[in-house]
Structure formats: C-alpha cells, structure tokens
A = this chain, B = another copy of it.
Amino acid sequence: MVTLRDAVVLVGGFPLLSGLNLELEAGTLSVVTGANGAGKTSLLRLIGGLVGLTSGSGRVSDIDLATGDLRELRRRVGWLGHEGSFYDDLSANENLAFAAKALARPTNEIAGVLDRVGLTSRASMPAKLLSAGQRRRLGLAWILLRRPALWLLDEPYASLDDEGRTFFDQLVGDVVESGATVLVSAHDPLRSSTLHPRTLTLAGGLVVGDRS
C-alpha cells in the first residue's frame, strides 16, 4: 500500500523528513510514535499527498508520489488532523451533506453516521460552536461517511473522552478487518487489547524503531 524510499520533504529549506524508508502492507494497522517534532504529522501528510516529495521516491496505493496524480491519491485518503476539518459556518449535517455530494454518496447515511459518533443532538448547530472533542468526533464522522481505503489519523485520541476512545478503537478494528489500511500517529498506546498494531518510532525525520 505504502512504499517510501529515502523520502525527503523540505519545507522552507528545513527537512521535515530526512530520508525516510517505510513499507506498509494493505489492510494493516500501524501506529507512529515519536517525540514532539519528530515528523509524525509530516509523514502522514506526505502519504496523504498533502505535501510534495522533495527527493527520494514513494508509492501510495499505486500512485507515484513524485510523478503521479496527487489529487487522485487524496481522494482515496481519509484525513483527521490536529485542527478542525470542516466548514465552521455550516452545521454538522450540512458539512457531511457537502462531503457526501462531493463524493456522489447517498446522503441518507448521514443521520446514521452522526448517531454513531454521538453528535445527533448537535447536528444542526454551526460547527464552530462545537467543543474540542465534538470537533474531533465530527472529523471522524466525515471520514466514516467516506470509507476510504487509507485512513491517516493524527493523534485521534487527543480531546476524545473515554467513551469516544473506546468507540474509536472499535471503529479502527472494524475498518482494518474490512481491508482498509490505517496509519495512526499517537503518543499513548492504543487501549484496545484486541488490536495488535505495528509500532513505528520516528526521530529526526527518520524511522528509528519498528515493532510488531
């Protein structure tokens, strides 16, 4: 699914990734850890086609990172970032309807998805009024609706409450089972004991540890 060889990502002359090698198989769950500033977010962005490869080579989901169609790649990716990931002025409902229509999905799944992430009672409130954890949940709903082949989740636990984390673990289990590839960046180990992720450790823009 993902192959990176000596991947270097420079932004403003600074190497976010400094020659990283990585191989991820389809249908697996991997967790990236590492100190603050190690390059976790940058790695996820590179794999999602959200930042360009400066040197080295890489293929994600059969698309070449250097020469391929990054727009096509992005379309296959579900992304959950540190920040909100929707239009602040639209409600949860409207945000999801926008995503669904953009991807030509049926819009009648929305109610179900909102229920799963526990936002039904906040469905028609402008997204900017949501609390930090509710924003996270909306972000999850946005991906859930899309069911992409590759999930890139940047610190999904942050600001989720207990119940949210349990739900998240379950969700990831389901998703991996159904054949999708999931790459999570995290500072805490996943809580679920049924998930057996591969754990990659980053430091200085390189993979320095790899444990299954």
Contact at A159–B161, with CB atoms within 8 Å? no
Chain copies in the assembled complex: 2
Interface presence of A160 (CB below 8 A): yes
Contact at A132–B82, with CB atoms within 8 Å? yes
Interface centre among A131, A137, A162 (most CB of B within 10 A): A131
Residue in contact with A122 in the complex, picked from B37, B158, B163, CB distance below 8 Å: B37
Residues in B neighbouring A154, C-beta threshold 8 A: 132
Contact at B134–A36, with CB atoms within 8 Å? yes
Q: Which 6 pairs across A and B sit closest by C-beta, in order of nearness?
A: A36-B133, A158-B158, A37-B131, A35-B161, A36-B161, A82-B132
A residues contacting B by CB (< 8 A) are 12, 14, 33-37, 41, 82, 118, 122, 129-134, 136-137, 154-155, 158-165, 187-188
